[in-house]
Structure 1
């Protein structure tokens, strides 16, 4: 699998990042270990998790992180794996949704270190932003943790480019470390905005955001990169599947036109259509590094998605898909 350096870091990450939200819960520990082993065997080294993953589905809090921590200890491969996890996780209590105080960040970080059974986290993400909170205190506490050796690098999830730029300017002007990547919703499919983006704290790719990342060479690690399997080849415009979420989120004329072009490239390159849609994201044609997060519930799905890590689409193919 192709490796790329995340700018402003020394992290050489696989262009495909493994998402682990259900690990240890709906995907049990044994099967999670198998998926992690298969990912590494395919050349992957970049894992994405969060302190609160699967908390909604499992009585054991932090089960995704704990499962990864146990796997790392069992396999003795901590030095080979880039572990990214999220803190400052939003509260389930809407009255206290945002958790970006110094105390919140430090508490979440310490818990993640314990769960992952590690002394340092390679890439620490802030899970959500609170636009009313000044960036200065947020950057200060993260910079302190880098200097303390508990975080190697930090990044933001669901932050607007306006807020990222505010944080960048503060960091540059005060000699602080800054965000090295942004995690937002992005795939080849255009989501139906009114339905999918009803949560105002979710940030998705648009032209303005794309331009900012090009200008600053800021890496993007997109979630929902597979559009819930829309580009798997199993959906048709005139057939409504018994999957309301996919219909509500992605069934529109633009996406079906893109699906047709994905299927055509799939035939030309003799690759599964899902691989083409992922390779679109990881292409070097975007002007900034992209590391799409994949989800997989079995080995077959994982191995197919990892094929995208070796597919290189040229500029004409990318333009063709974006039409």
Structure 2
């Protein structure tokens, strides 16, 4: 099993195209289970666990649980130099999602707290978890730039930002000789998304404008919810057994039935799982793209990691995209 890696500006080592999602670590999974899963990922060549200051805060007694268990794992394994330490801050408090936490003091406090919990000397890639359009981009760049100057972080990116704000940030940074955004995180998968059923108005779903921006600039893109909660694997299991399948409202669109059939055909031709096709759909791009995967056991993770060197050609991507995103 090998995992393809791709570079990210400002970071000393390339990143695995399959990134382990940190939401279940320390929350759905206890410490022993979490460490076992991370061992499995690292042994396969993976080197980024996607976490955030807020992961665990919705579970009583589990505040910051994901960062804490990742920090314990790196410390006990002595593998800090092999892992890319990355986390996200600036998320609103869960009880007041309409109140921004993106002023300089909030950002610094979150970064300093993450460093302590991750037991790291520096964060390789620090993400602002949300945006606040009432705060000028220049102010946010200044807050992040000072974290770089003070040695808390090496580089920074954004998560759930709209395309115009990303473009403005990198334009201003270029004009002023400041560090650019190193990467962007957005909600993206092979499955079409029924945005009318997206409950959190602060998340950003990849659209054509954002895709074109990444394709034109080469800005690395990280796709979260990259397997659409296992949608296509569930569809395949239902088709194999002849059982009826009802897609959840979030993914209940005719286009997903068509994408399923195309993905199933490609999977059969390549001798791989349909989930592996769905992940390869993300990272088989001409610009650096990465798929963040959730897993709660080694069998799930092994299937995802099996996609780590599978590349789809432009023809396969065009069939899956149905003209939406392919170049």
TM range (shorter): over 0.9
CA–CA distance in structure 1, aligned partners of residues 204 and 98 of structure 2: 20
Structure 1 runs (4+) deviating above 6 angstroms are: none
Work out whether 1:234 is the aligned partner of 2:233: no
Aligned CA distance change for structure 1 residues 314 and 100 (closer, same or farther; 3 Å) = same
CA pair 314-240 structure 1, distance change in 2 beyond 3 A: closer
Q: Is 1:312–2:314 an aligned residue pair?
A: no
Aligned residue-pair number: 316
Aligned pair 1:273/2:274, yes or no?
A: yes
Gaps spanning 5+ residues in structure 1: where?
A: none
CA distance in 1, matches of 2:60, 2:72: 17
Are 1:13 and 2:37 an aligned pair? Answer: no
- Please list every run of 5 or more consecutive structure 2 residues that lacks an aligned counterpart in the other structure: 323-327
1:201 aligns with 2:206: no
Q: Which residue of 1 aligns with 2:157?
A: 155
Kept in 1: contact 2:26–2:62 (CA 8 A): no
Residue pair 1:25, 1:58 contacting (<8 A) in 2 also: no
TM-score (norm 2): 0.93
1:120–1:152 contact (8 Å) kept in structure 2: yes
Paired position in structure 2 for 1:44: 46
Query: 1:216-235 residue pairs with structure 2 within 5 A?
Result: 216-232=217-233, 233-235=236-238
| Mapping of residues 90-239 of structure 1, within 5 Å | 90-94=92-96, 97-196=99-198, 198-232=199-233, 233-235=236-238, 239=244
Alpha carbons 1:240, 1:247 under 8 Å: kept: no
Q: Deviations over 1:265-314 (max 9, x none)?
A: 11111101101110110103xx3111110000100000100111110111
Q: Pick the aligned partner of 2:37 from 35, 38, 48.
A: 35
CA–CA distance in 2 between the matches of 1:82 and 1:186? 22
Cα distance in 1 for partners of 2:134, 2:166 equals 14
Q: CA RMSD in A?
A: 1.6
- How far has the Cα of 1:94 moved from its partner? 2.6
Structure 2 contact 10–155 (Cα < 8 Å) conserved: no
Per-residue deviation, 1:167: 1.2
Q: Secondary structure of the residue that 2:54 maps to in structure 1?
A: coil
Q: Distance in 2 between matches of 1:30 and 1:93?
A: 30
- The answer to whether the 8 A contact 2:22-2:294 is kept is yes
Determine helix, strand or coil for the equivalent of 1:55: coil
Q: What residue in structure 2 maps to residue 2 of structure 1?
A: 4
Shift of 1:240: 3.9
Per the normalisation by structure 1, the TM-score is: 0.94
